[in-house]
Amino acid sequence: MAKNESMWGGRFKSGAAERLRDYTESVSFDRNLYRHDIAGSMAHAKMLLKIGVLKKQELADILKGLGEIRAEIDAGKFAWSIEREDVHMNIEAALTERYPAGAKLHTGRSRNDQVATAMRLWLKDQIAENQQAIAALQTALVTWAMRDIAVVIPGYTHLQRAQPVLLAHHLLAYVEMLERDHARLADAAKRVDVLPLGSGAIAGSTLPLDRAFVAKELGFARVSENSMDAVSDRDFIVEYNAACALLAVHLSRLSEDLILWSTAEFHFIRIGDAYTTGSSLMPQKKNPDIAELGRGKSARVIGNLVSLLTLLKGLPMTYNRDLQEDKERLFDTAKTVQSSLLIFAEMLGHIEVDAAACQRAAADPLLLATDLADWLVRKGVPFRNAHHLVGAAVALAEEKKIPITQIPLADWKKISPVFDKSALEVFSVETGLQTRTTIGSPNPKLVKAQLARWKKILAGRK
């Protein structure tokens, strides 16, 4: 482009100042949209032939040129120009230089509806990739759970030992969380699946554009119903980022469990060397950096969501240049979440459980204190009274510095005459798990059934 030639045409007598070009360019990041921008242009060109704007040879030239440009970008041989500002103008200018018919391609469209279309196409593909990665992580969790199906660990509330659970049951909790993420993305995809192309800059076009034809060509479920909303709507990006923010929070919670379990204090798991790092100073260190980064990266995904909401909150109708700032937030979230899902799925396949350490922790008889209260309930004691009586037994054991199972029967009787020798039978982890028969509990049979259910569900997503 000549230095005195403006990309805006006759309205401007000179080109943009260099500093303005540097400040306003977006090609450095929106080039990510090139394949989807080209797909949108191809469909638009076919529609222009259908309504008589293009001739058959012109369409052939445009399709050929766009295919050539796509191949060059794929191969890293395309010369991007900051003077052409964004991915759309770069591709259109390169096309027009090769084939004069390219000058007709922008007929009936604006960059406002063009970029909205490319972003929706890109996000449709991205959501599908995210869902596949979620399924891969779920599969890794199920595989781990099946591998260590017999391992029992303490369940925690307030990070204090609470009740015994199967490790598999704990892992399946994350499978359930990820399933909600999968469903949220599927739901968000419905709002992404709307074609804005044909809305123009703000008020459509005087040309007889066949929007339904373009929607079918590009695989959109429907076309937008309001041209002003179509070019200014970024709800679909916010919704995607919101779903990803919650997904990132779930990964952060999983990270925290893995970090705790890998400490010397817990020692429930050992993460493979290939998925840990060392210390530059302390030679003994083996750090769970993937989990720590997963926990940390949730902050940037949450930040991207807040940034987008802040970006939109004061914008008048319709398109405003502020919206250029949506892409880096979107791309960063997508890349962060996808890379986290993939590396976590790999890492989980290289975790070894220390079954002995888990067994020692789960052998704490206080994990079954609630079971003792339930025993009293079955003897006719109201639960609030039973809760108080077991609490008194726990306090007595602490006072005598003995396990609760070693309290003499005479002392049990002082607490309540209802207690007898059979009360101590509840202090069996195996019995405690097997007697939990309510739906969703860590009963071994129920957990195995859940694993079989999830294995079948996930096999259908491959």
CATH code of residue 313: 1.20.200.10
| CATH code assigned at 384 | 1.10.40.30
**What's the whole-number mean pLDDT along residues 20-34?**
93
Do residues 85 and 118 both lie within one domain? no
| CATH code assigned at 26 | 1.10.275.10
Beta strands 194-195 and 160-166 are: unpaired
pLDDT of 3 above 50: no
| Coil/strand/helix, residue 155 | strand
Q: 7 falls in which pLDDT band (50, 70, 90)?
A: low
88: containing domain: 16-107
Whole-number pLDDT of residue 12: 63
Total domains, the chain:
3
Whole-number pLDDT of residue 21: 83
Do residues 343 and 367 both lie within one domain? no
Q: What percent of the chain has pLDDT over 90?
A: 93
**What's the whole-number mean pLDDT along residues 202-226?**
98
Do residues 243 and 262 both lie within one domain? yes
Tens digits of residue pLDDT in 319-331 = 999 999 999 999 9
Q: 196 falls in which pLDDT band (50, 70, 90)?
A: very high
4 within some domain: no
Whole-number pLDDT of residue 4: 40
Do residues 204 and 184 both lie within one domain? yes
Do residues 95 and 128 both lie within one domain? no
Bridge partners of residue 287, in order along the sequence? 277
pLDDT of 284 above 60: yes
Do residues 165 and 36 both lie within one domain? no
266 within some domain: yes
pLDDT of 10 above 70: no
Whole-number pLDDT of residue 17: 83
State which of 312, 333, 357 marks the end of a domain.
Answer: 357
| Cα separation values, 35 from 71, 77, 81, 131, Å | 10, 15, 17, 21
413 within some domain: yes
pLDDT of 8 above 80: no
Do residues 125 and 54 both lie within one domain? no
Q: 16 falls in which pLDDT band (50, 70, 90)?
A: confident
Please say whether the beta carbons of 218 and 262 come within 8 A.
no
pLDDT of 5 above 50: no
Whole-number pLDDT of residue 2: 41
Tokens 């259910």 belong to 453
6 within some domain: no
Q: Any idea what DSSP says for residue 161? A: E
**What's the whole-number mean pLDDT along residues 119-138?**
98
| Coil/strand/helix, residue 223 | strand
pLDDT of 462 above 80: no
Do residues 125 and 90 both lie within one domain? no
10 within some domain: no
Q: Give the integer Cα–Cα distance in Å for 417 and 376.
A: 11
Do residues 86 and 187 both lie within one domain? no
Do residues 353 and 370 both lie within one domain? no
Whole-number pLDDT of residue 19: 87
Tens digits of residue pLDDT in 381-425 = 999 999 999 999 999 999 999 999 999 999 999 999 999 999 999
Sequence-ordered list of residues with C-beta below 8 angstroms from that of 82, at least 6 positions apart, any chain: 21, 22, 25, 27, 28
**What's the whole-number mean pLDDT along residues 251-274?**
97
pLDDT of 260 above 80: yes
Query: For all residues of the chain together, what is the average pLDDT?
Result: 96
Do residues 411 and 445 both lie within one domain? yes
368 within some domain: yes
Do residues 182 and 149 both lie within one domain? yes
Query: Could you list the active site residues?
Result: 158, 279
Q: Give the integer Cα–Cα distance in Å for 69 and 95.
A: 8
State which of 299, 333, 357 marks the end of a domain.
Answer: 357
Sequence-ordered list of residues with C-beta below 8 angstroms from that of 401, at least 6 positions apart, any chain: none
In degrees, rounded to 5, the angle at the alpha carbon of residue 249 between the alpha carbons of residues 357 and 454 is: 65
State which of 82, 107, 132 marks the end of a domain.
Answer: 107
